[in-house]
Chains A and B, each alone.
Chain A
């Protein structure tokens, strides 16, 4: 848990630096999104500990060959619609998520989090 809360603080502070709107409500949403991401996405899309770790990050590296960052969190070109489509339909080996796992509110937060660094 120590590691987890640290990463949340770091992520939240990144959001603070980059977020364009930057109001408290948006920040809370982004923070919630980072928690959803921690629970359901980072387990496959996080930083690989080895070349066989983090299948999401590895597959996206193979697919894009560095044209965009392999880690979803570092992307600046994801759209809310695209995120929702993938999370609710799955892609390749990535299964879709039930609403009891990622609720509609969680989805909104996840979208805010993953698009927080997008250019306007």
Chain B
């Protein structure tokens, strides 16, 4: 028996399904238990317990914007909640599961047309079902000299990824994926189609300029529930002549403070792509028994002890890989500039040169390139870091400073230990820099398909992390649906006016509350009242 939408009886539900079938064809309406179960989150924090938590009632797979409109109209008529996904690969952040059990998932995978790639103006317009692999192949097949900026997993969608504030690896103006969009088309909760930016002018060029005139409302479609995006334009980087990556290593733990300052400057000057922080002492060298012993001591280790140990082992405390794109002369000059600034300021800093890679590059050279996403080549290598049965990502936004990193290690480390989830972040855990203007402290909590107790502890730890972060003035940038409300509630300035404003908008544009109820912690009136 399917999980029904709240307040809907089976008869009404069956009638709605029949309408969906009439509108888009019976083959594209999935309603058997077996088919619907495939929309659960594959990295499910409820495995081994209530596996039907956050389960869809059915799924519909439209092929065109008109079919999306028809679905939305039927949903209004029958008060059926919808939940749109593009490629539905949001693993670690909810997979393809809705925020509200009983929602009908609108699976946009069939809408997989690349509408345009412009090599002169460096943009692409795509439908939601286009994956990074698809867009990359499209560009390669036509020999176009533009790069995509992709996240680690290549099977996601530029649209779906951008709509969850997803991120990648090259220059800052491309790797903030929503930030690099240039306008969109969406089906509104009443079934109308709207275009933003220059697409709002009949005959206008969608990839041209995202602001158009008047308030910019594209952000409402991100982690929101104001419509189903059916097309999106993205700016692309022209293929650079060269890529260069050099590594900086600094000796002491506190050297991270000036290192971050310099790298922030390089980033904000537009000289580098994603800087990748690591730690020779704590990274793969972290299994060192002496280090483990120091860290296991009550109260942990002092910086002086850690530095002495790192010095004895002959390893640096921190490293950062700097990536440069552009003309060969400039990438080398920018690397020289980075070296000079850091060497002047941080005693004992070391610099490991890399090699210049030139483009176009052969397929074989791309295949064996060390970190392919850094040059816009999608792949699935990252899944090597996923623990046995998947994970749940806790991703806190913190200021771009070493102090925030150190504080985060302490705050989240305590929660790991309290919840018996292992040592957690050690004093060498760095920050993720995918978003160019913020650090993200990310912890991947392991899940189990069979050990419900582990999952319950992980969920509790996750909730504790949200609260602990909020106390520091931090919040999360995306999260699995089960945690959306708590996260939104932490953004509570002035009596949660942010959420309340979104609710006012929601009630006005989606009076039946059919569009992704609960997404982003925003509920339509009818369900808010039920919860109250």
The finding on whether chains A and B are genuine partners in a shared complex, rather than unrelated, reads: yes
Q: CB within 8 A of A99: which of B35, B141, B384?
A: B35
A17 is an interface residue with CB less than 8 A from chain B: no
B107 with A52: CB separation less than 8 A: no
In the complex, A105 Cα to B5 Cα: how many Å?
Answer: 30
List B contacts of A44 (CB < 8 A).
380, 383
A43 with B107: CB separation less than 8 A: no
Contact with A along B329-363 (1 / 0, CB 8 A): 00000000000000000000000000000000001
Residue of A nearest to B388 (CB): A92
A98 with B368: CB separation less than 8 A: no
B107 with A93: CB separation less than 8 A: no
List B contacts of A99 (CB < 8 A).
30, 35, 38
Q: CB within 8 A of B390: which of A49, A58, A88, A93?
A: A93
List A contacts of B42 (CB < 8 A).
90, 95-96
Q: Which of A3, A54, A93 gathers the greatest number of chain B CB atoms within 10 Å?
A: A93
Stretch at the interface among B88-96, B182-190, B513-521: B88-96
Q: CB within 8 A of B141: which of A1, A43, A93?
A: A1
B406 is an interface residue with CB less than 8 A from chain A: no
List B contacts of A50 (CB < 8 A).
368, 370
In the complex, A53 Cα to B387 Cα: how many Å?
Answer: 15
A93 with B387: CB separation less than 8 A: yes
B381 with A52: CB separation less than 8 A: yes
B379 with A96: CB separation less than 8 A: no
B379 with A98: CB separation less than 8 A: no
A100 with B109: CB separation less than 8 A: yes
B38 with A97: CB separation less than 8 A: yes
| Given contacts A96-B42, A97-B38, A99-B38, A52 and B384 within 8 Å (CB-CB) | yes
List A contacts of B389 (CB < 8 A).
92-93
List A contacts of B107 (CB < 8 A).
98, 100
Residue of B nearest to A102 (CB): B38
List B contacts of A98 (CB < 8 A).
35, 38-39, 59, 88, 96, 107, 109
In the complex, A99 Cα to B61 Cα: how many Å?
Answer: 10
In the complex, A101 Cα to B35 Cα: how many Å?
Answer: 12
B523 is an interface residue with CB less than 8 A from chain A: no
In the complex, A98 Cα to B110 Cα: how many Å?
Answer: 12
In the complex, A101 Cα to B89 Cα: how many Å?
Answer: 11
B209 is an interface residue with CB less than 8 A from chain A: no
List A contacts of B384 (CB < 8 A).
52, 55, 58
B137 is an interface residue with CB less than 8 A from chain A: yes
List B contacts of A93 (CB < 8 A).
383, 386-390
B388 with A100: CB separation less than 8 A: no
B259 to chain A, nearest CB (A): 26
**Chain A residues within 8 Å of chain B by Cβ, number:** 23
Residue of B nearest to A43 (CB): B380
Contact with B along A37-75 (1 / 0, CB 8 A): 000000110000110111100100000000000000000
In the complex, A11 Cα to B91 Cα: how many Å?
Answer: 31
B95 with A95: CB separation less than 8 A: yes
B140 is an interface residue with CB less than 8 A from chain A: yes
Contact with A along B361-404 (1 / 0, CB 8 A): 00100011010000000011101101111100000000000000
Residue of A nearest to B95 (CB): A95
A55 with B109: CB separation less than 8 A: no
Residue of B nearest to A50 (CB): B368
B30 with A95: CB separation less than 8 A: no
A71 to chain B, nearest CB (A): 15
Contact with A along B56-71 (1 / 0, CB 8 A): 0001010000000000
A43 with B155: CB separation less than 8 A: yes
Residue of B nearest to A1 (CB): B141
In the complex, A92 Cα to B390 Cα: how many Å?
Answer: 7
In the complex, A49 Cα to B35 Cα: how many Å?
Answer: 35
A100 with B95: CB separation less than 8 A: no
In the complex, A79 Cα to B367 Cα: how many Å?
Answer: 31
B133 is an interface residue with CB less than 8 A from chain A: yes
Residue of B nearest to A51 (CB): B384
Contact with B along A92-119 (1 / 0, CB 8 A): 1101111111000000000000000000
List A contacts of B383 (CB < 8 A).
44, 55, 93
Residue of A nearest to B41 (CB): A95
B56 to chain A, nearest CB (A): 11
Chain A interface (Cβ < 8 Å from any Cβ of B): 1, 3-4, 43-44, 49-50, 52-55, 58, 88, 90, 92-93, 95-101
Question: What are the nearest 3 A-B pairs in CB distance?
Answer: A95-B42, A55-B383, A93-B386
Chain B interface (Cβ < 8 Å from any Cβ of A): 30, 34-35, 38-39, 42-43, 59, 61, 88, 91, 95-96, 107, 109-110, 133, 137, 140-141, 154-155, 363, 367-368, 370, 379-381, 383-384, 386-390
Known contacts A1-B140, A49-B367, A93-B386; 12 additional CB pairs below 8 A are: A53-B381, A54-B381, A55-B383, A92-B389, A93-B383, A93-B387, A95-B42, A98-B38, A98-B59, A99-B38, A100-B30, A100-B109
